[in-house]
Chain A
Amino acid sequence: MESHANEILLRWIVLVPLLGAAANGLLNRRLPKQVSGLLACGAVGVSFALSIVVFLRLAGMPVAERFLSDTVTTWIGFGRLQVDLAFALDPLNAVMALVVTGVGFLIHVYSLGYMAHDAGFQRFFAYLNLFIFAMMTLVLGENLLMLFVGWEGVGLCSYLLISFWFNDEANAAAGKKAFIVNRIGDFGFLLGMFLIGVTVLPHLGAGEGLLSFRVLQHHAGALAPAATAICLLLFLGATGKSAQIPLFIWLPDAMAGPTPVSALIHAATMVTAGVYMVARMNFLFVLSPAAMNVVAIVGAATAIFAATIALTQNDIKKVLAYSTVSQLGYMMLACGVGAFAVGIFHVMTHAFFKALLFLGSGSVIHAMSNEQDMRVMGGLRKKLPVTWWTFLVGTLALAGIFPLAGFFSKDEILWKAFSSGNQVLWAIGFVAAGLTAFYMMRLLVLTFFGENRASPEVKHHIHESPLTMTLPLVVLAVLSLVGGWVGIPHFMGGGAHFEQWLEPVFAGGHHVVEAAHGAADAAHGAAADAVHHDTTMEWILAGASLAWGILGLLLGWLVYARRLGVAEGARRLAGGFPYRLLEHKYYVDEAYEATFIRPGYRLSKTVLWKWIDAGLIDGILVNGSALVVAVVGSVVRLFQNGMVRFYAWSITVGVTVFVLYLCFSG
């Protein structure tokens, strides 16, 4: 394919942040902080500007032809096994690219203020730029292997940034936990990729890239027999990266990193990579109803599971972390019921308001001299006006209040779950939505209302954050306010522009279904379309979820601002057991500790160390081979006795025997 001028831009979207990372990482302390910050923000800014350019070019193309590609070189060329180092842009990753670079840019600017007094300023920006590079590789990669490269890259950056303040043992442990838990998911991803490769290789024509999304989509029929296995393996990868049950445990611990990192990586962008990957492979997932059910059920379960934990956490960032896990569950739920476009819609709106909430919490933590416990906060409404107002917007958006961004995406997810016939999943999502509103109001009340409960010296230092921090807050607040309007559904008189924009990407999935199962089995999409005309149900559900959200907020207000006894009562309910269960996060960490980690250690110490390493490797393989050499040597050295005539005699006898053998063996 001929490379167009705008197509060449794709590689620069990815490469410019890498250059920024290289400059910051190599020069490090030799760069003045201003230059370092300017370089880092500039690199992401350029990336964002380029993303807008290619987005506009894509939007200017006819709907069916919206595809740009930029092949840098053939990466692996081995007979029919061909993988390109290539980037591609279609409506799906155009949205992701804008969100990642846009929100990323705002968070870079915010970090200028937040990290201003940190000794590792340059290192921080090097990592942050490296992250944007990896994330853009993930998003813009033209094939599954490029996506995987980015996938591992963001995992590395996540690790580096979680344990950014590595002098503290706990931070280092949190980074390690995130990395190791993600490795489990990555293993599934790898196996899924191998399975795809093995299955599709015999069907490839000449010049077709092995793992290219377009090629895979074209050969989806050939992949159909293995679709369930492949999708489940890929989804295991997604549960790791996107913090779903059972691999969500790393995300709350990841809050050990600096707050801009939590906002950028662990709320807005990296953790949505799993959702993006599932949406990207939609043509495969729709072939396997079983895998889709797993995705939907895991998503819904994660949504409510994490929401209940968030009710009892006292660390402001932990509440937001569990909220993120819960919202990621919603996105997976959307993908699981076949509404990939809505899942991506929620990725976008969530990126806005959750980045806002995290940055707001960062501003609060900054003001409170690095205190994260909400029990000693309170009354910050007057002292941090910008933070308070923007935080309020974020809270309302997350709680799904009309007409903020969260309302449209969350309501659409619930509607899709309901209309696809999964009423149970809808009910779970609905309950979780109320819980979301409740715990966010709790957070708001504890942080911003009432009397300040901090110590006098901390109280003395409370101040609003500098402009570099408040400006991104305001921009994100505006986005959280209006960001949902691009996806106003039909029944409210909107154009559902967002879904239409993504239609070309996900329509392919439906064609695949029809090709594989015949048109009759394409029930998923068709049933949804049939119900679509009856808008009363949509109105009722939308109204119910709005009312439910407001009710959650009101309850939260009542319990935590007016009737404090209720919260105390709930804590003591049934002997305090339910509360303790939630407070200890359902003892999941403890369960993993008991079932995997401690037996793992024991296995390593006894079998792997004492037997395999000390016994087999050291004892038999290393010392054993040395022993064999010694024994053979002690026998053989008898022949080396220094008697020249003995040697000569040996040669004579040997040659004679050899010649006789040649003569008489025929």
Chain B
Amino acid sequence: MEVTLTHYLVLATLLFLTGMTGFVVRRNAIVMLMCVELMLCAVNIVFVAFSRLHGDGGGHVFVLMNFAVAAAEAAIGLAILVEIFRRRRTVDVDDLKALME
């Protein structure tokens, strides 16, 4: 069976929905960060797929940039979470609403 663009897109969609659902449903901030990474990963797959389709290397550039951004985001996000955990002894987002109103 030949792997077509549709396969990639379906895979990306499933991956993205998984990440999105996880982000909305779970309360653990670390799991939510991992879900964000999943969504970014899905986007990367779409980029590469279309890059291949059009024979245009531009998509790869975006993917590489996404890697850099995701790495930075994960680093900063985890650093913040560590700091929050130190102060509050929890990473449950439902308990973190000091900024409400």
Contact = CB atoms under 8 A, between A and B. Distances in A.
Is B one of A's binding partners?
yes
Interface of A: 637, 640-645, 648-649, 652
Contact of B93 (A640, A641, A644): A644
B94 A643 contact: yes
A645 B20 CA distance: 11
A443 B27 CA distance: 103
Chain A interface mostly: helix
Contact of A644 (B96, B98, B101): B96
B54 interface: no
B98 A642 contact: yes
Given A640-B100, A641-B97, 15 more contacts: A637-B101, A640-B101, A642-B96, A642-B97, A642-B98, A643-B94, A643-B97, A644-B32, A645-B23, A645-B25, A645-B27, A645-B93, A648-B24, A649-B24, A652-B24
B94 A645 contact: yes
B99 interface: yes
B24 A642 contact: no
A652 B94 CA distance: 18
A397 B100 CA distance: 90
A463 B7 CA distance: 118
Contacts of B24: 645, 648-649, 652
Contacts of A649: 24
Interface residues of B, number: 14
Contact of B20 (A640, A643, A652): A652
Contacts of B96: 642, 644
A448 to B, nearest CB: 88
Contacts of B27: 645
Contacts of A637: 101
A640 B97 CA distance: 10
B46 to A, nearest CB: 14
- Which among B23, B27, B32 has the greatest number of chain A C-beta atoms within 10 A? B23
Contacts of B98: 642
A648 B23 contact: yes
7 contacts: A641-B97, A641-B100, A642-B97, A642-B98, A642-B100, A642-B101, A648-B24
A652 B36 CA distance: 13
A644 B36 CA distance: 13
Contacts of A652: 20, 24
Interface in B48-101: 93-94, 96-101
B51 to A, nearest CB: 22
Nearest to B35: A648
A642 B99 contact: yes
Contacts of A645: 23-25, 27, 93-94
> Which of B24, B27, B100, B101 gathers the greatest number of chain A CB atoms within 10 Å?
B24
A642 B93 CA distance: 9
| Nearest 10 CB-CB pairings of A with B | A642-B97, A642-B100, A644-B93, A648-B24, A649-B24, A648-B23, A645-B24, A641-B100, A637-B101, A642-B99
Contacts of B32: 644
A640 B101 CA distance: 6
A442 B98 CA distance: 92
A147 B98 CA distance: 68
Nearest to A655: B20
B63 to A, nearest CB: 22
A658 to B, nearest CB: 15
B55 to A, nearest CB: 27
A649 B27 CA distance: 13
A536 B5 CA distance: 118
B26 to A, nearest CB: 8
Nearest to B27: A645
B33 to A, nearest CB: 11
Contacts of B100: 640-642
A457 to B, nearest CB: 81
A645 B23 CA distance: 7
Contacts of B101: 637, 640-642
- Name the residue among A648, A649, A652 with the largest chain B CB count within 10 angstroms: A648
B99 to A, nearest CB: 6
Contacts of A640: 100-101
Nearest to A645: B24
Contacts of A644: 32, 93, 96
Nearest to B97: A642
B48 to A, nearest CB: 22
A70 to B, nearest CB: 67
Contacts of A643: 93-94, 97
A641 to B, nearest CB: 6
Contacts of B94: 643, 645
A489 B25 CA distance: 109
Interface in B12-59: 20, 23-25, 27, 32
B25 to A, nearest CB: 8
A637 B100 CA distance: 9
A648 B27 CA distance: 12
Contacts of B20: 652
B78 to A, nearest CB: 16
